[in-house]
A and B are shown apart, each in its own frame.
Chain A
Amino acid sequence: MKKTLLATGLTMLMATSPMMATSAMAQEIGATFSRFDDNWLTVLRNGMEEYAGTIDGLSYQQEDATDDLAKQIDQVKNFVAQGVDAIIVNIVDTSAGAAVSAAAGDVPLVYVNREPDNVNELPPTQAFVASNEIESGTLSAFEVCKNLRAAGLGNGARGYLMNGQLSNQAAVQRSKDVYDVIGMDMCNFMEIIDEQTANWSRDEAQDLMTNWMSSGEPFDFVLANNDEMAIGAIQAMKANGMDMADVQVGGVDASQDALLAMAAGDYDVTVFQDSVGQGTGSIDAALKLIAGEDVDQKVYIPFVLVTPANMGDFLDKN
């Protein structure tokens, strides 16, 4: 990283005109992420930093928007003022695509991981690389539905739903996916006893699950918007002496912690989101936009369902 910066600096110094600085020798990409302390985004972020380090003459810088849209737009404007060649945005609020796109002006911009609402009206200097959030919650809930049927609960199964942060689009979408799955004829035997937020967090999920269990109501499944909350629920159920073979637990992320819980036989269903595919895809798209080449403006990297049957393929991925 230091070397790259040094190289960039030297190239800039040697450049006889300002135009030279933007030549293929020294490119500068600025990236802003909605949160630095989000587990999955950290995997994405570190992967991107590593990949950027392997590209000669690329200087790469990332900032934390701390879930604040106004701050993120300011960061984009700062990047523009600083004269970066391209900007990568992991947008805080997917309904604010127009504002972020406008802030970038003519500077090439790539959205990563989250789909902005203006994805179909992006100017030619902008692109989008992500997974389709509708898939994640649907894959997870549908697999749980199938497992419940296979366990002979096709006449009626009751369970709980744990939401991520209520202000987060992915959380809202993933919970909606659950209800969409339950709305299907094949899965309408599933009933949600209650849904509450545990703010993506494992310890809050532990407490929430323990609260639910204290009512003594029998249940057959727990669906969570992410792995962390699913793991928290599992820990609480095990602490309460439940046999994890009797409960179907579904989440999203396929994090290392989750896969090990799956290996131990506690966790049933999760969904893999390809951080490497999204990260390298977005940087490649940004480089192409800088070079003025044609890019695919909408790239969807598929989610993959992970169950004990195929979990071995994902153990060193996220």
Chain B
Amino acid sequence: MADTSHGTGGLTFDKSKRSWPNELNILLALVIIIAIFEIIGQVAPYMNGQSFLFDTKDRFDSIFNEARLQIIILQVAIIGIIALGVTQVIITAGIDLSSGPLVAATAMIAMSFGQTELVNGFPNPKALFGTWAMDLPVIVPVVIGLAFGACIGAINGTFIAYFRIPPFIATLGMFLICRGIALWWSGGNPISFPTESYAWIGSGMMPVVWFIILAIIFQLIMSYTVYGKHTYAIGSNEEAARMSGINVRRHKVMVYTIAAMLAAFAGIVLSSKAVTAQAGMGEFYELFAIAMAVIGGISLQGGRGSIIGTVLGAMVLGVIRSGFTYIKLDGSYQLMAMGGIIIAAVILDQYRQRNKA
């Protein structure tokens, strides 16, 4: 486990008063939630004694219901990739609301360079450009998509760091701009039927593979590199960070750019997974990404939190979503319960901070 001593408002933090790392608490919550679903499955008469996590029908080699384990993480992997970036932004005491629409805009733009010319022998009915943009190597749409994300992120960061616009407002503006771009790009028409290599990016469990690889990379970056240390330092005390010689403005632009590139990559993976790009994609993704970070123990005041925490936060949301479908809970109750859980997570975390710190 990496050193978690960075942040938390500088002096008030005393590691010796902490019984165990924050991440263990989230893991504990995860186990409790799974246990609750397991009990409901055994007790509720309409469930016929089904198990949430275990293989009761002898369908798999292991004792677990592997299909459930896969979907739990698969369904949060794409938002999870966004959350990795949002985590870094929140650690600098910022916020990024533009990621959901950025996912949609990037999906549209990247997919339009990733289309294939013939679909089961029919000409592609959703072709946006002429044949010159068809069947391009997969690197083309990916690079275009990431470059677009980098531009949006750099603009976000520049407005926030150099023009002193509050992050909430700057990224709210970008939220609307990106939704507009997503709609304008193809006039609201879906863009479908990508090349095989483009469709591979998000096929099967690939979203999970990307999520895990990126999570490991950024956990290492945040713990062991100057980039990571500076990010925590800025979030803990921006003035002090500036005094100690950190180029705060340039660093912020970098953080927002990286976050937007992660969201853009999520858009590429999403469009590949769905095998279509649509302007309405990614609705509420920015909020769920923030929720994952918050459940994962990140403070919106900045300076505290970790990538591992966010990954666990994502797992909590994944378990809840899967569990609700498992106990056949109606969609409207699902939203209410999920909202309640997010708020409860923060209350618990704050309570714990007060007692420990």
Contact = CB atoms under 8 A, between A and B. Distances in A.
B120 interface: yes
A257 B276 contact: yes
Contacts of A228: 278
B183 A212 contact: no
A164 B280 CA distance: 14
A289 B111 CA distance: 43
Contact of B75 (A43, A194, A211, A316): A211
Given A211-B75, A232-B274, A256 B126 contact: yes
B71 A36 contact: no
Contacts of B187: 42, 46
B98 interface: no
Given A42-B188, A260-B120, A206 B274 contact: yes
B132 to A, nearest CB: 22
Looking at B193, B321, B325, which has the most chain A CB atoms within 10 Å of its CB?
B325
Contacts of B71: 207, 210-211, 214
Given A42-B189, A210-B74, A239-B204, A36 B279 contact: yes
Contacts of A212: 325
Contact of A201 (B57, B188, B281): B281
B57 A203 contact: no
15 contacts: A36-B279, A37-B278, A37-B279, A37-B280, A42-B189, A45-B188, A46-B188, A64-B183, A203-B281, A206-B273, A211-B75, A214-B326, A239-B203, A240-B67, A257-B276
Interface in B80-105: none
B328 interface: yes
A211 B122 contact: no
Interface string A224-259: 000010001001000110000000000000001100
A175 B71 CA distance: 26
Interface in A70-102: none
A163 B331 contact: yes
Interface residues of B, number: 44
A47 to B, nearest CB: 12
A208 B125 CA distance: 27
- Sorted nearest first, the 8 A-B pairs with minimum C-beta distance are A214-B67, A37-B280, A42-B188, A256-B125, A37-B279, A207-B75, A214-B68, A203-B274
B47 to A, nearest CB: 10
Contacts of A260: 119-120, 122, 125, 193
Nearest to B125: A256
Nearest to A46: B187
A199 B331 CA distance: 10
Contacts of B281: 201, 203
A256 B65 CA distance: 36
Interface of B: 50, 57, 59, 65, 67-68, 70-71, 74-75, 78, 119-120, 122, 125-126, 182-183, 187-190, 192-193, 203-204, 270, 273-276, 278-281, 283, 321-322, 325-326, 328, 330-332
Contacts of A35: 280
B331 A37 contact: no
B270 A36 contact: no
Contact of A196 (B57, B59, B65, B325): B325
Looking at A37, A41, A197, which has the most chain B CB atoms within 10 Å of its CB?
A37
Contacts of A46: 187-189
A211 B331 contact: no
Contacts of B328: 194
A152 interface: no
Given A41-B188, A166-B331, A257-B193, 16 more contacts: A36-B188, A37-B182, A37-B278, A37-B280, A39-B189, A64-B183, A201-B281, A202-B274, A202-B275, A203-B270, A206-B273, A210-B74, A214-B326, A216-B57, A256-B126, A257-B276
B44 to A, nearest CB: 14
Contacts of A210: 67, 70-71, 74-75
B171 to A, nearest CB: 19
B192 A257 contact: yes
A216 B41 CA distance: 14
A213 to B, nearest CB: 6
A150 interface: no
A28 to B, nearest CB: 22
B280 A214 contact: no
A198 B77 CA distance: 17
Contacts of A202: 274-276, 278
Contacts of B122: 260, 263, 315
A212 B328 CA distance: 10
A37 B188 contact: yes
A208 B273 contact: no
Nearest to B71: A210
A310 interface: no
A38 interface: yes
